[in-house]
Amino acid sequence: MVDKISKCTVCIFASLIAYPGFAQADQEFFKDCGYRCTPFQSCILGNQKMACYYGSASATSGGIVFKDGSEFFVEWFPEPEDSSTSINGEGIALINDVRTSYKILKIQSGKDDLRCIHFYKDKSEDVLFAYGNC
């Protein structure tokens, strides 16, 4: 029993070192993340990295809340069958009722399949914000 507890303690300690953003302050922030919500440690807002979470409202909408209090409502556009865009690559969404382009960047393939979704300012490559494993 003691061996299992010490292994667990080592795992927790190792995860805190590997993900320094997963500190007490982020734990407090993530308490607001409830059912159908996914927390992320390294989101991007402007030029800053910070914690955020995505809460799913439906199959085609949700919201992103950043640790600094910024919030964005996302309405994903369905893709026409003849479209060259792909949910696995890029597309269009409404962000707070403003048409915005996005790209899904695959950070790492494999078991965890880490991705980061970047939303861009109108007709530019300037990132408005990004969420996921960025």
10, part of any domain: no
Q: How confident is the model at residue 85 (pLDDT cuts 50, 70, 90)?
A: very low
45, part of any domain: yes
7, part of any domain: no
84, part of any domain: yes
Mean pLDDT value of segment 33-43? 87
72, part of any domain: yes
CA distances from 121 to 33, 44, 45, 93, 124 (A): 27, 14, 12, 12, 6
Q: What percent of the chain has pLDDT over 70?
A: 69
**Cβ-count burial of 59 within 10 angstroms (0-12 exposed, 13-18 middle, 19+ buried)?**
exposed
Residue 13 pLDDT > 60: no
- pTM over cut 0.85: no
23, part of any domain: no
Say how many domains are in the chain: 1
The boundaries of the domain holding residue 100 are: 33-132
